[in-house]
């Protein structure tokens, strides 16, 4: 495994998730609009709840990228690889007409999944 790449991917992912969390917290209705989803008070509340969990995930990714033990970094990267793939897939399954933003958001998820896969499959 390429632990340097996995650590860098975790760091980059933590920054992207942290920024996404801020965006979701501040502008949940805009996020829904960009995804082509009709906004409602319950959905806006849900987006803000997701933002809080993204903050926690971003912090965990940041901290885990600093782990001294390579095996721990590898375990987190495997989980995040699956999660990033699922993010891409679920974004494309949005219950609305796909928008440019849906494609970009899915591509970001798939991009991180590929980076994790390369890091998992490649030697340092």
What's the pTM value of the predicted model, to 2 decimals? 0.90
Instruction: Find the radius of gyration of the CA atoms of the chain.
Output: 15
Measured CA to CA, the distance from residue 83 to residue 18 in angstroms comes to 16
Longest alpha-carbon distance in the chain: 48
Q: Which domain holds residue 42?
A: 3-121
Whole-number pLDDT of residue 124: 62
- The 10s digit of each residue's pLDDT in 59-75 is 999 999 999 999 999 99
Q: Under a CB-based contact definition with an 8 Å cutoff, are residues 88 and 110 in contact?
A: yes
Whole-number pLDDT of residue 75: 95
* Beta carbons within 8 Å of 99's beta carbon, 6+ residues apart: 34, 35, 36
- The 10s digit of each residue's pLDDT in 83-107 is 999 999 999 999 999 999 999 999 9
Number of domains present in the structure of the chain: 1
CA angle 8/81/72 to nearest 5° reads: 65
Report the chain's mean pLDDT, rounded to a whole number: 95
User: DSSP secondary-structure letter at 50?
Assistant: H
């Amino acid at each position: 495994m390429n632990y340097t790449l996995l650590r860098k991917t975790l760091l980059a992912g933590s920054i992207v998730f942290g920024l996404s969390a801020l965006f979701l917290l501040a502008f949940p209705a805009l996020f829904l609009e960009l995804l082509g989803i009709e906004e409602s008070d319950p959905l806006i509340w849900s987006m803000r709840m997701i933002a809080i969990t993204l903050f926690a995930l971003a912090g965990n990714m940041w901290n885990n990228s600093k782990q001294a033990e390579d095996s721990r970094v590898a375990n987190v990267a495997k989980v995040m690889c699956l999660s990033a793939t699922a993010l891409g897939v679920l974004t494309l399954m949005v219950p609305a007409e796909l928008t440019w933003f849906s494609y970009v958001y899915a591509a970001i998820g798939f991009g991180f999944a590929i980076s994790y896969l390369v890091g998992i499959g490649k030697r340092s």
